[in-house]
Amino acid sequence: MSKQQFIKVGICNKYQTLLEECERAWTSWKERRGEISQLRMVSKNRGDELQTLQASYARAYTFLENHAPNCSLCQLVARIEGRDPENSSGALFL
C-alpha cells in the first residue's frame, strides 16, 4: 500500500488555458442560448450574437483539439493516463 503513489501530472499550461477558454466560450454560448430560447421572437441581432458565440466556442474547441496531438507534454500526460491522444476528441462539452 505504501508503495502506491499517485503520479501527479500537471496538465500543460497551454492546454489548461485553452480548456478554460473553451469552457468560458461554451458557458456563455449555452447561457445566451438558454435566454434566447425563452423568447418568443428572436431578433436578427440575437441570432447573430448567438452565432458569434457559437463560432468562438467552435474556434476554442478546435484550438484545444489541435493542441494535444502536437504537444509532447499533452501526449505524455495522455499516455500516462492511458488515453489515446489520436482518439481523445471525446465530446468534451458537446
Contacts with Zn ion, residue ranges (CB under 5 A): 12, 14-15, 71, 73-74
Nearer to Zn ion, 29 or 61 (CB): 61
Residue type, 37: S
State the Cα–Cα distance between residues 51 and 33, nearest whole angstrom.
10
Nearer to Zn ion, 55 or 76 (CB): 76
Nearer to Zn ion, 9 or 42 (CB): 9
